[in-house]
Amino acid sequence: MALPGLVLAGLVALVVMWVVADDPPRSGADTVSCADALHFGGAELPDGAEVVGACKTQGFQDIHYSATFRMPRADVPDWLEGTYPARAGAGKKFCGAVDVDLCLDVDAPGGHPDAGAHAVQVRVEYEDADTALVRFAAFTM
């Protein structure tokens, strides 16, 4: 009879410790520099890019970085090829349930020696004849 009570008391104590801990695990998004977000995925912000909104990171065990930016449309293929030479390719692909003009999924992106991402997703929408909106995500699994 005492064993179930001790187990319950231990569980309650663990929950209380987690709630009052100085730095409990978080899963909400935090703002991060866009250079850091792209660096995590082995990339650099392209020349002429304009960041849209704040770049974010979130996670506890798995980490997810995201960045959205506009860049010259004509520079997108060269930026992708220069960043992920073995994986980049021109043309429209169907990327899951998202209809975009260009997408790229890269496992083990490499790039920088200290890049930590296990995978990168790049989604490109051509807004007009001159501008592309790029959504970049890098994450661990």
SS3 at position 121:
strand
Query: Is residue 21 included in any domain, yes or no?
Result: no
Query: Is residue 38 included in any domain, yes or no?
Result: yes
What's the pLDDT tens digit per position in 113-127? 667 899 999 999 999
Domain range enclosing 84: 26-139
DSSP 77-115: HHHHHHHSTTT---S---BTTB--SEEEEEES---STT-
- Which of these ranges, 16-20, 62-66, 115-119, has the smallest mean pLDDT? 16-20
Number of domains in the chain: 1
Query: Is residue 98 included in any domain, yes or no?
Result: yes
Q: Where are the beta strands (DSSP E) in the chain?
A: 30-32, 50-51, 55-59, 63-72, 102-107, 119-126, 131-139
Residue 60 per-residue DSSP state: S
The mean pLDDT of 103-108, rounded to a whole number, is: 85
What's the pLDDT tens digit per position in 81-93? 898 887 655 444 5
Residue with tokens 């501008």: 131
The mean pLDDT of 43-68, rounded to a whole number, is: 93
